[in-house]
Each structure stands twice: as structure tokens, then as C-alpha cells.
Amino acid sequence: YFAQPPFELSQQDKLLGGLLPAGLDEESCISRYQSVMYRKEQKLQPSPYLVSRLRKYEALHKQCGPLTDSYKQTLEYLNSGSQQNYNSTGCKYVIWTPIHGLGNRILSLASTFLYALLTNRVLLVDPESKISHLFCEPFPEVSWLVPSDFPFIKNLSRFYSNSPQSYGNLKKNNNHSYLISSSLPPYVYVHLVHDYDDDDKQFFCDHDQTVLQNVPWLIMRSNIYFIPSLFSVSPFQQEINNLFPNLGTVFHFLGRYLFHPTNYVWGLVTTYYNTNLARADEKMGIQIRVLDKDSNRFKRVLDQILDCAGKENLLPQLINETKSIAIQSVKLNRTKAVLITSLTSDYFEEIKTMYWNHSTITGEVIQVYQPSHEENEQNENEMQNIKAWAEMYLLSLTDKLVTSGWSTFGYVAHSLGGLKPWILYLYEDYKAPGMSCQRAVSMEPCMHAPPYFDCTRKQYTGNTVKLIPQIQHCEDKLWGIKFI
Ligand code: GDP
């Protein structure tokens, strides 16, 4: 069951305003062209320039992607181990490798894709990430997975900041003098994980981008949404502005372009949606991610959620037995489905029981759902990742969303959905009593751990960043930055 739109979907709607390529096999990835039927009318449209650059990228991917002649030639060049042989194909690559939870992975993969687009590289994905169980292939005809005969396929996940091939290390070993590209090996590992040091961070400096331009293979690992820092690289800034005239929609469009649930995940999403959410007059999501460790956290977070939902008019008040309040019949018989996601079931039990034991003063009927409670985070557990992806997607289909501060799980859900969430503060950032949540200023994810590095002086700047009207500190993480 899904609400059929009152009109025939035009080809333009189905392709999300030209964001998606036409003509891909529909059966092997049902969600790609069907997702539009589950979402509210798409008000945001991708810029014509983004659409044209995506088509250009797809052509490049087809020309240079896995198992093409160009790919095989560039691989020989990689195997030769030196830059002496000229890379005549003109093809360059960036290989994304996974780290940490699914939210982190999705944000860093989208960032790596934009980096590929900006530098005319082909994006390839480490198959160890098992993302083919989660997402359809996004590009026509040629896969984005690194083929199994890639030279160090099993070792892609072993690179880290201390690897001899890491860009930061190469800089250190060069005694911080300016590297020249001919002194670099045919492949370089780029470490953009939150623990990156000042040498790794110079990836975001103009000069270093010029050097890296000539390295045909980059292997990248990041757990960060690093696009706001790509914006600080001079040659990228104008291009990002051209691609996204509204910077507050960068992940929204990249996410909708790249991440289509596989048929299995789509089955989970649509079955759950059609059974529990579709008929409700309004759908609300509450994404609960408790990162605090103190023993009082359950009650505190529950109070915080209820305080936020009450003050922001997201959930109606209950009729208390001791006070007789006449039901405001305005919303009588309206139903509101509340979708809770959390690793544990205790919040769900509590909130469901509240609305089972009491009526609401508006007369609304509140139905509370939670698809799973996995108890512990296990990032390499395939089924947990499948459930996590299905739940992020379900949250993105709601009308209003409350998310937990700092959580990349929540960022993906709201940004994909085009929603500005109400963000619950983390305990340590709880500014003033009575301030339990805040409405986000944009639908963009927060970039955690920006480099805070001055490329001219070559030094750490402390937690200061040149804020511009389009880049501000995040609501939930003061030293993070985000596009607005
Ligand atoms: P973050 O740690 O909140 O930034 O989010 P991540 O998605 O990066 O990592 C958390 C991981 O824990 C997820 O990928 C899931 O594996 C698991 N997880 C956390 N919260 C939930 C939840 O509400 N539902 C499910 N199914 N898994 C969750």
C-alpha cells in the first residue's frame, strides 16, 4: 500500500528532477525509481549544472571504471610501482574504504564521491565494506566495486595514518618541504579520520591538491562528512557553489543520487512503511542515540525527548487523571504514527505505554513503533547494517524528525529526507536548563573534527574557523561546522 499520487508520475518526477540517470534496469533496483512515490512532493530541484556534471561523471566512470581497457592499463601502471611510466589513459581513481558505523560511512562515501567529481577521478569502493548488500550500483553499466584482482585488495583496510604510503607520512618524511608529484608513488593513502594529524590535514590545502592531482590512485579512509572543508580549497569553492547554488542541500542531493536501497532492504522499508506508517495522518520520527554512559541517562534522555516534543508541539499533551481537560475536538480521530529508532527498546516501551494509558488533549491517536532494538553496536554485522539502513530510510520518510546530537545516523536520515530536524542536545552540551532541543538551521549534516589548520602558516589554528554566511558551527557540536 502506498498513497498513489493523484496524477501520473512524469519522467522528470521519477528521475528526481534529472538527478538520476534514465534507462537503468528497474527490476534490479526497484527503489531507484519507486522511492518518489513514498516521499512528499519534491520541492527542491537539483541545479542543471549538477545534473550535467553527474552525466559527465557517469561517462567517465563508464570509460575508466573496473575492467575497462583504461582501468587495466592504469592498473599496470600501479603494478609497475613508479611514476616513471606515463599514465596515458588519463584515468585517475579514488578508492573509498570503510570505518566506523553506517552513518559515518555514508557521509564519508558521499564526501569522497564529491571529491571524485571535483578532481575528475573515478570513485571505487572497497568490497570489504559489503555495501553491495545495502545499496544498488549507482552508476550505469560499470560497477563501483574494486574488482577482486586488484593488487592489494585484501589490504585496503590495513592502511592507516602511520602507513608508509600515507600522505601525511610522505610529507613528514620529506621533512615538510614541498612535495612534488614526481616524488610520490603511483598510489597514496589519504587519512581523513577524526584522529588525523597536521600533516594529514594538509590534504585540504591548495598546494597539496595540486600535488595530488598527478597521483593516479588515491586510497581514502574517513569517518567524517568532509565536504565543508573541501569548500575551503580555492579551486573547489566556485565549483561547489556552481553545483549547489543552495549549499544547504549538498548531502540531500548527493545522498539521493548515490544511495538506493537494494531490493532486499527496499522490501523491509516498504513492508514496514505500508503496514505501520502509510495510513497515519502524520508521521513523526524520533531517532534516539545515547552516547552518555552515566547511570541516570535513561530518565534524563526520556525527559529531554518529552520536553522537546511538548515545547515544540510535536506530540500532544496527555489527559491527566487528576485534571479534567476537555478534549479539543479539532484533531479528533487524527492519527499520528511515531517511529522510534534506538539500540534499546526502553524508550519505545515507555512512550508507547504513556499513549496507551492516557488519551491526548487534542483527541489525536498516537501510535508508537520501533522496528528493531539491536542492543549493541556491531559495525561489521551485516544484518545490523541492513536494519540500520532500513531504519535511516524509514526515518527519512517521516514529516517531522527529532534526532540525537552528534549522531551521523540521524544526519543521514534527516538530510536524505530533506528535513530540518529538532536536535536533542548531548548532555555535556546541554546549554541551559529547559533547553532540550533546537531546530536545525539547515538539512545538512555536521562536519565533525574540521582540520582547523592554517595552510599559509602551516599551523593548527585552535577551534576557530573562518565562518562565512554559508558555513556556521553546528547546533549540536560547537566545534563542528556545517553548510546552511
Ligand atoms: P553514530 O555512531 O550515531 O554517528 O551512527 P553510525 O550509524 O555511524 O553508527 C552507529 C551504528 O550502531 C549503526 O551503524 C548501527 O549499526 C547501530 N545503531 C545505532 N543506532 C541504531 C538504531 O537505532 N537502529 C539500528 N538498527 N542500529 C543502530
Nearest by Cα to 62 from 143, 172, 125:
143
C-alpha span between 58 and 376 (Å, rounded):
38
Q: What is the grid cell recorded at 278?
A: 502509510
pLDDT, tens digit (0-9, with 9 covering 90-100), for 128-163: 999 999 999 999 999 999 999 898 888 898 999 999
Distance 369 CA to ligand 1 centre (A): 17
Average the pLDDT over each of 5-14, 322-331, 373-382 and give the range with the smallest value.
Answer: 322-331
CA of 378, closest atom in ligand 1: 16
State which amino acid sits at residue 116: A
Distance 409 CA to ligand 1 centre (A): 6
Distance 476 CA to ligand 1 centre (A): 17
Question: Which pLDDT score is estimated for 433?
Answer: 64
Q: Given a cut of 80, is residue 316 above it in pLDDT? A: yes
Distance 361 CA to ligand 1 centre (A): 34
Look over the chain and give the mean of its residue pLDDT values, rounded to a whole number.
Answer: 90
* Residues 6 or more apart in contact with residue 208 via CB below 8 angstroms: 167, 179, 202
Q: What is the grid cell recorded at 292?
A: 552518555
Q: Which long-range contacts (CB under 8 A, 24 or more apart) does 51-60 make?
A: 51/17, 51/18, 51/19, 53/117, 53/243, 54/19, 54/21, 54/117, 54/257, 55/21, 57/116, 57/117, 57/139, 58/21, 58/139, 58/140, 60/91, 60/120, 60/122
Distance 36 CA to ligand 1 centre (A): 25
Question: What average pLDDT score do residues 189-206 get?
Answer: 95
* Residues 6 or more apart in contact with residue 190 via CB below 8 angstroms: 166, 167, 200, 203, 212, 218, 219, 220, 221
Question: What average pLDDT score do residues 56-85 get?
Answer: 85
Question: Which pLDDT score is estimated for 373?
Answer: 94
Contact status, residue 100 vs residue 194, Cβ threshold 8 Å: no
Distance 130 CA to ligand 1 centre (A): 16
Q: Given a cut of 90, is residue 103 above it in pLDDT? A: yes
Domains and CATH numbers, the chain: 48-254 (no CATH), 263-445 (3.40.50.11350)
Contact status, residue 83 vs residue 185, Cβ threshold 8 Å: yes
Distance 98 CA to ligand 1 centre (A): 15
Best mutation site among 129, 403, 409 for ligand 1, i.e. most ligand atoms within 8 A of its Cβ? 409
Question: What average pLDDT score do residues 376-405 get?
Answer: 95
pLDDT, tens digit (0-9, with 9 covering 90-100), for 9-33: 777 788 999 999 998 999 999 999 9
Q: Given a cut of 60, is residue 67 above it in pLDDT? A: yes
Question: Which pLDDT score is estimated for 74?
Answer: 85
ipTM: 0.99
Q: Which residue's CA is minimally distant from atom 25 of ligand 1? A: 388
Question: What average pLDDT score do residues 174-185 get?
Answer: 68
Sign of CA dihedral 16, 20, 23, 27: negative
CA of 372, closest atom in ligand 1: 26
Distance 102 CA to ligand 1 centre (A): 7
- Give the residues across from 122 on adjacent strands: 93
Q: Given a cut of 60, is residue 3 above it in pLDDT? A: no
Contact status, residue 90 vs residue 97, Cβ threshold 8 Å: no
Full-model pTM: 0.95
CA of 377, closest atom in ligand 1: 12
Kindly give the residue spans of alpha helices, DSSP state H, lying in 8-68. Answer: 11-14, 30-34, 48-64
Q: Given a cut of 50, is residue 379 above it in pLDDT? A: yes
Q: Which residue's CA is minimally distant from atom 5 of ligand 1? A: 409
C-alpha span between 234 and 106 (Å, rounded):
25
Q: Given a cut of 50, is residue 1 above it in pLDDT? A: no
Question: Which pLDDT score is estimated for 80?
Answer: 74
Question: Which pLDDT score is estimated for 177?
Answer: 60
CA of 342, closest atom in ligand 1: 23
Grid look-up 538539512 returns 443
C-alpha span between 113 and 117 (Å, rounded):
6
Distance 422 CA to ligand 1 centre (A): 18
Helix H or strand E segment including 352: helix 346-357
DSSP code of 429? Answer: G
Distance 271 CA to ligand 1 centre (A): 21
pLDDT, tens digit (0-9, with 9 covering 90-100), for 324-371: 566 565 667 899 999 999 999 999 999 999 999 998 988 899 999 999
Grid look-up 527498546 returns 345
Question: Which of 81-90, 205-214, 289-298 shows the highest mean pLDDT?
Answer: 205-214
C-alpha angle 222-213-123 in degrees, rounded to nearest 5: 50
Beta-sheet strands, E only, within 166-256: 187-192, 217-222
Question: What average pLDDT score do residues 232-244 get?
Answer: 96
Question: What average pLDDT score do residues 214-242 get?
Answer: 95
Q: Which residue's CA is minimally distant from atom 3 of ligand 1? A: 407
- Give the residues across from 453 on adjacent strands: 460
pLDDT band at 205 (very low <50, low <70, confident <90, very high): very high
pLDDT, tens digit (0-9, with 9 covering 90-100), for 71-85: 998 888 787 765 555
Question: Which pLDDT score is estimated for 20?
Answer: 95
Question: What average pLDDT score do residues 42-57 get?
Answer: 95
Beta-sheet strands, E only, within 141-270: 187-192, 217-222
Best mutation site among 194, 292, 377 for ligand 1, i.e. most ligand atoms within 8 A of its Cβ? 377
CA of 100, closest atom in ligand 1: 8
Question: Which pLDDT score is estimated for 243?
Answer: 98
CA of 410, closest atom in ligand 1: 3
Question: What average pLDDT score do residues 67-71 get?
Answer: 92
pLDDT, tens digit (0-9, with 9 covering 90-100), for 409-445: 999 999 999 999 999 998 766 555 678 999 999 999 9
Residues with CB under 6 A from ligand 1: 100-104, 289, 341-343, 372, 374, 377, 379, 384-385, 387-388, 391, 407-409
Question: Which pLDDT score is estimated for 464?
Answer: 63
C-alpha span between 55 and 457 (Å, rounded):
39
Angle of the 297-311 helix axis to the 346-357 helix axis, nearest 10: 50
Q: How far apart are the first and last CA of the chain?
A: 36
Q: Given a cut of 90, is residue 319 above it in pLDDT? A: no
Question: Which pLDDT score is estimated for 77?
Answer: 79
Alpha-carbon distances, residue 372 vs 339, 342, 345, 381 (angstroms): 11, 8, 8, 14
In three-state secondary structure terms, 266 is: helix
Q: What is the grid cell recorded at 307?
A: 520536553
Distance 266 CA to ligand 1 centre (A): 18
CA of 388, closest atom in ligand 1: 26
